Structure 1
Amino acid sequence: MSTRPDEAALPAPIERPAGRRRKAPPVVRHEDKRLAILRIAAQLFAQNGYEATSLDMIADQIGMHKATLYHYIKNKEEVLYFCLVKSFENLDEVVEKVRDRSEPPLQRLRYFAQSLAHAQNSDFGRCLVVVGLRPLTTEASLDIRRFQRRLDTTVRDLITEGIAAGDIKPCVPALLSAMLFGMLNWVPQWYQEDGKYSIDEVVEAFMNMVIQGIAAKPQR
């Protein structure tokens, strides 16, 4: 085992030639700074509400002048729009995986619920659940509403498939989907990361109760 050399034995620091400057750290990319702005804005919107959060507050929180903020965004509504769009990040992959019939419907339903809960309890997801689409113009909210309908359709189709396969008791898919989303949408209102349960434990407990009620056959 080697021993640490004596301080005196260490080579002397290399002297830099006169006039040579230390290399500056890499400049933060425009998109990196923009993402940081969106994340701070999402946190403030969820904490204080959309109306009570100003661009000045966002600029102060991130440590830049308000004038500099306009290099990255146009106005507060645009900030909220992109925060809400970010809340669906990676859920496209979840939708595609849920459509894969190689796994039983109830197992895919658990996976969907867990994935949605993680998305909703991120900074951006919490912003969507707490603030919602109301501050946006009808045109600006169309993409988000369209994706929300896609998620609802995905769950309804999965339930319909489960009923046809004999895995889920006969029920109204639209009502069961509404119950599932309502249950998960409420979590960001009260969930604390430093609380007693992790988000996975919360979702597992919820889905155990749901599946116990809808499964056509006893679950192990």
Structure 2
Amino acid sequence: MGRGRHAGYDDQREMILERAAALFARGGYPGTSMNQVAEACGLSKATLYHYYRDKYELLVSIADGHVSRLQGIVDDALAQEKTPQGQMRVLIRRLVEEYASAQNEHRVLTEDVKFLQPEDRERILGKERDMVAAFARVVAALRPDLKEAAMSKPLTMLLFGMVNWMFTWMKPQGALAYEDMAPVVADLFLGGLQAVQVPAREAAAVG
């Protein structure tokens, strides 16, 4: 009878994925070795293989896990709010929060997905397309007059452009945090520049 998994097995797997994602994000999937992953995790290579059979399995797990979490966020937001405007605000807030703590995973999803085998790539990109389609449906509900012009998806992609790469210019110790920026993005997307409100923390500092 085989030995069962120890109590910290899942936590260890998550730690490995986190360290591997950081390495992939910094050096690219092809440029990262299992030796480097093992060293970053403080594990022997033999122990690392106990959790993941190879580097490719790490890539699949990182990309699939990230996009699955995003799907869950979308599903929760749509169930939580009933109005399109409420749904959009929650979607933006939850997405910004997720990206704040998953920058490496997002880089892997966007930059290293091309190294996935066709079946895995199609499955993962299919989940990503489903998430984008859910956003586009909310956009269409907000502006049904744009449906015939097929503008829902382009507007959705413009929104993702604001959110997806925020971490490339946001400073960890800057004046604004991710939770400050989420309502700014929502205001800008829903009402234009004139609708943007100064974040509470900045307003308090000015006052």
TM-score, length basis structure 1: 0.73
Contact 2:25 2:107 in 1 (8 A): yes
**Conserved 8 A contact 2:23-2:32:** yes
Q: Do residues 51 (structure 1) and 34 (structure 2) align?
A: no
Q: Which runs of structure 2 are paired with 1:25-174 in the superposition (5 Å)?
A: 29-100=8-79, 103-123=82-102, 125-128=105-108, 131-164=111-144, 172-174=151-153
Corresponding residue to 1:201 among 170, 180, 183? 180
Q: Unaligned 5+ residue runs, structure 1?
A: 1-26
Give the residue type in structure 1 aligned to 2:188: M
Separation in 2, partners of 1:121, 1:154: 21
Partners of 1:69 and 1:101 in 2: how far apart?
A: 39
Measured in 2, the distance between the counterparts of 1:59 and 1:122 equals: 22
Q: How many residues end up aligned between the 2 structures?
A: 188
Structure 2 residue aligned with 1:183: 162
User: Is this contact kept in 2: 1:87–1:120, CA < 8 A?
Assistant: no
Q: Give a deviation string over 1:42-70, Cα, whole Å, max 9, x none.
A: 11111222222211111011111112211
After superposition, the C-alpha distances for 1:93-146 in whole angstroms (9 at most, x for unaligned) are: 432344349532122112111212222232453343553411212212122111
Higher helix share: 2
Q: Could you say what the CA RMSD is over the residues aligned between the two structures, in angstroms? A: 2.8
Q: Helix, strand or coil for the counterpart of 1:70?
A: helix
Displacement of 1:72 in angstroms is 0.9
Aligned counterparts of 2:30 and 2:134: Cα–Cα separation in 1: 33
Q: Runs of 5+ in structure 2 lacking a partner?
A: 1-5, 198-207
Give the TM-score of the pair, scaled to structure 2: 0.77
